[in-house]
């Protein structure tokens, strides 16, 4: 089969776009729940941690919203991850949880296919203060990052926090490369500068302390004026398949369009001026 | 800002690749102006999309970056060879030229990255 140059170019662009598309098809993690599967179009993504907080001392997990079939009861204070919410006809909002028990019998979020799933009334849950809560409170104070990244790339173990002065370390990482990018900065009341990392090799929506990137002992401060629960109960998000909150997608799409225009222009120029 | 950084990376990468492959072409005996210009344009065709695809892939996949680089470079070699064969004047062995030109620029680029560029 003889290919003309447009076919070759098309194949090349398609192959590259496949890389981009597959890389971006990092879809939102979905619970393995029957009701969710049947009604996913009516469900709204949340993806946040909550703690059980019911006037009865425990919350009931139901097979589905409005169902009388009980999956389990979970005592107050247990941390849960709600991936999606659903509002029923009466206006009540329900969150889907997926969980299992640790050796001590405590509930923990689980992302495996054989974990328990069920629905809890959102009114019985208290939001755990997280990076999004922090954003809502401090977004107006954010500044662009103007420094370089050399301090992060010297092989030291860089500490990632759930949000500035949370006291919760999400991960540490020694191999920082050129993909490490600070979206914006925040300066706390003790003049420590922090940088937000939307995504870095599986680390999502975390903060680093620019003033002291290797310290693991930056003390936590109490959250004031927030209805959210204690940050110490933050539970891990699913390891994969959760789209980062501040996705690079729009920027990369813009760059991809620019590159595409550049390619087409170049092909036309070559075709016009290099005819044999 | 990630967008600005990526844009800079695309620009620097393209500039360096063009300079290095032009140098390689000149040393390899390609002195025809139109052929040298073709070397530039062919790199404009392949380099930005390869670099963009690479950075997108390493951002989202926890794979060894080498596993992503190699197939992308192979694709670039094939496309460039095709254009040298179809439009070049003095490319008697376009695939060989494309392979070594890319190995040269890729190798220099890797050395540049290692020494902290």
Task: Kindly report, residue by residue over A228-244, the tens digit of the pLDDT.
Answer: 444 444 444 444 333 33
CA distance B50 to chain A (A): 7
Quick: pLDDT tens for A71-100: 888 888 888 889 899 998 888 999 999 988
User: Which helix (DSSP H) or strand (DSSP E) does residue B71 occupy?
Assistant: helix B65-87
Q: Grade residue B32 by pLDDT with cuts at 50, 70 and 90.
A: very high
Given pLDDT bands bounded at 50, 70 and 90, which one contains residue B117? very low
The pLDDT value given to residue B26: 92
pLDDT computed for residue B22 by the predictor? 93
**A9:B7 CB<8 A:** no
Contact A150, A210 (CB under 8 A): no
What is the model's pLDDT at position A27?
45
Q: Which DSSP string do the residues of chain A spell out, in sequence order?
A: -PPPHHHHHHHHHHHHHHHHHHHH--PPP----HHHHHHGGG-EEEEEEEEE--TTSEEEEESSTT-S-EEEEEETT-EEEEEEEEE-TTS-EEEEEEEEE-TTS-EEE--STTSEEEEEEGGGEEEBP-HHHHHHHHGGG-B---S-SGGGSSS--EEEESSTT---EEEEES---TT-----EEE-TTS-EEEEEEEETTEEEEEEESSSTT-S-PPP-PPPS--SB-GGG--PPPSSS---TT-SHHHHHHHHHHHHHHHHHHHHHHHHHS--
Regarding pTM above 0.90, the answer is no
Reported ipTM? 0.86
Position with higher pLDDT, B38 vs B4: B38
CA distance A185 to A194: 5
User: Which positions in chain A touch B46 (Cβ < 8 Å)?
Assistant: 12
pLDDT of A119? 95
Restricting to B residues 56-95, those with a Cβ less than 8 Å away from any Cβ of A are 56-62, 68, 72, 75, 79, 82-83, 86-87
Torsion angles phi and psi, residue A187, rounded to 5: -110, 125
Distance from CA of B69 to the nearest CA of A (A): 12
Total Cβ atoms within 10 A of residue B59: 20
Percent of chain B with pLDDT over 70: 85
Closest residue to A23, CB basis, from B7, B46, B60:
B60
Find the range with the poorest average confidence among A159-168, A214-223, A246-255.
A246-255
- Residue with the larger pLDDT of the pair B55 and A65: A65
Higher-confidence position of A265 and B4: A265
The label of the residue with tokens 């990137």 reads A213
B40 compared with B115, residue with greater pLDDT: B40
Contact B59 A248 (CB under 8 A): yes
Instruction: Pick the residue of A22, A143, A255, A267 with the most B CBs within 10 A to test the interface with B by mutation.
Output: A255
Overall average pLDDT of the A215-230 stretch = 69
Give the whole-number percent of chain A exceeding pLDDT 90.
Answer: 21
- With beta carbons under 8 A apart, name residues in chain A contacting B38: 270, 274
Distance from C-alpha of A155 to C-alpha of A214, rounded to nearest angstrom: 11
Predicted confidence at residue A234, as pLDDT, reads 44
Tell me if B83 and A270 make a contact (CB, 8 A cut-off): yes
Instruction: Give Cβ neighbours of residue A39 (< 8 Å, ≥ 6 apart).
Output: A86
Residue given tokens 């560029």 in the structure block: B117
Do B80 and B42 touch, CB atoms closer than 8 A? yes
Instruction: Determine the pLDDT at residue A240.
Output: 38
Lowest-confidence region among A126-135, A183-192, A201-210, A248-257: A248-257
Candidates B34, B18, B36; CA nearest to B102 is B18
Cβ pair A19:B53 closer than 8 A: yes
Question: Chain A to chain B, count of Cβ pairs less than 8 Å apart?
Answer: 96
């Amino acid at each position: 089969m003889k290919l003309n140059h447009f076919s070759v170019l098309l194949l090349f662009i398609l192959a590259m776009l496949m890389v981009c598309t597959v890389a971006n098809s990092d879809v939102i993690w979905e619970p393995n729940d029957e009701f969710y599967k049947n009604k996913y179009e009516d469900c709204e993504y949340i993806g946040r941690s909550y703690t059980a907080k019911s006037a009865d001392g425990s919350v009931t997990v139901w097979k589905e919203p409005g169902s009388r079939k009980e999956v389990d009861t979970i005592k107050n204070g247990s941390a849960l991850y709600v991936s999606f919410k659903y509002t029923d006809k009466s206006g009540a909002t329900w969150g889907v949880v997926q969980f299992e028990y640790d050796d001590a019998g405590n509930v923990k979020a689980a992302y495996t296919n054989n974990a328990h799933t069920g629905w809890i009334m959102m009114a019985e849950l208290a939001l755990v203060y997280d990076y999004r809560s922090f954003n809502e409170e401090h977004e107006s104070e954010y500044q662009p990052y103007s420094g370089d990244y050399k301090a992060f790339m010297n092989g030291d173990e860089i500490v990632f926090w759930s949000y500035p002065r949370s006291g919760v370390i999400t991960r540490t990482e020694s191999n920082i490369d050129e993909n490490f990018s600070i979206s914006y900065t925040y300066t706390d009341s003790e003049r420590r500068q922090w940088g937000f990392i939307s995504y870095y090799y599986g680390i999502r929506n975390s903060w680093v302390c620019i003033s002291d990137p290797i310290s693991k002992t930056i003390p936590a401060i109490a959250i004031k004026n927030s209805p959210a629960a204690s940050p110490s109960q933050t539970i891990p998000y699913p390891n994969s398949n959760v789209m980062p909150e501040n996705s690079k997608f729009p920027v990369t799409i813009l760059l991809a369009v620019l590159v595409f225009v550049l390619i087409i222009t170049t092909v036309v120029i070559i075709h016009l001026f290099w005819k044999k | 800002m990630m967008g600005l950084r990526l844009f800079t990376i695309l620009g620097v990468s393209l500039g360096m690749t063009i300079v290095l492959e032009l140098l390689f072409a000149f040393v390899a005996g390609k002195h025809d102006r139109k052929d040298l210009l073709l070397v530039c344009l062919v790199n404009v065709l392949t380099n930005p999309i390869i670099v963009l695809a690479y950075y997108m892939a390493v951002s989202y996949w926890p794979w060894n970056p080498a596993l992503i680089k190699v197939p992308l470079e192979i694709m670039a070699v094939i496309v460039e060879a095709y254009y040298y064969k179809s439009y070049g004047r003095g490319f008697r062995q376009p695939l060989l030229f494309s392979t070594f030109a890319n190995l040269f620029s890729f190798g220099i680029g890797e050395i540049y990255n290692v020494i902290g560029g």
